[in-house]
Amino acid sequence: MMVGHYYPYCPQPDLTVGIKSHTDPGVLTVLLQDHIGGLQIRHGGGWVDVEPVAGALVINIGDLLQIASNDVYKSVEHRVLANSKSEARVSVAVFYNPRIRDNLYGPFPELISRDTPAVYRQFTYNDYITRFFNKELDGKSLPNHYRV
């Protein structure tokens, strides 16, 4: 799924936020941001700007890859600030998500052993994505709902 974001100039950016803190629910997100930026990730207890680099793509690990990897890879909490620049900001995100919603998803069996037990239980993507869209994007971790 591809989504285009358009952020017009905001005269009081300190009174609002572009997109609240969240992690992406899918496997991967590929983001193309323009030269203005505005994306931040949570790191070390604070927020860090993701500086735009001309021609570069930002790749976010999603919650499903965190679950499938049994926590080897972690989804990144991020947010988007309101646009304080005089010109409009544009970004394009491509979300890679499972197409088959009734299959069971969980940690890859090859990663599970006696020494590294499953951290998550299995679930259908239908159940998972329904939970995602029925909650606020407030930084809460959806994978925690499926922890063993």
Write down the domain spans for the chain.
2-146
- Looking at this protein, which amino acid is placed at residue 55? G
Q: What is the CA radius of gyration of the chain?
A: 17
Shortest CA distance to 104 belongs to which of 86, 81, 120? 120
Q: What is the mean pLDDT of residues 43-65?
A: 94
Distance (Å, rounded) from C-alpha 65 to C-alpha 72?
A: 9
Inform me whether the pLDDT recorded for 1 exceeds 80. yes
Q: Does domain 2-146 have CATH number 2.60.120.330?
A: yes
Q: What is the DSSP string of 40-103?
A: EEEETTEEEE----TT--EEEEPHHHHHHTTTSS-PPPEEE----SSS-EEEEEEEE--S-SSS
Q: What is the mean pLDDT of residues 48-55?
A: 92
Shortest CA distance to 25 belongs to which of 99, 101, 97? 97
Burial 71-89 (b: 16+ CB within 10 A, else e): eeeebbbbbbbbbeeeeeb
12-43 pLDDT tens trace: 888 887 888 888 989 999 999 999 989 999 99
Q: Give the model's pLDDT for residue 140.
A: 56
Evaluate whether 80 touches 40 at the Cβ level (below 8 Å).
Answer: yes
Q: Give the model's pLDDT for residue 22.
A: 86
Inform me whether the pLDDT recorded for 45 exceeds 60. yes
Shortest CA distance to 144 belongs to which of 43, 29, 67? 67
- Reduced to 3 states (helix: H, G, I; strand: E, B; else coil), residue 39 is strand
pTM, full prediction: 0.86
90-146 pLDDT tens trace: 999 999 998 888 999 999 999 999 999 999 999 999 988 888 888 754 545 788 889
Q: What is the greatest pairwise CA distance in the chain?
A: 57
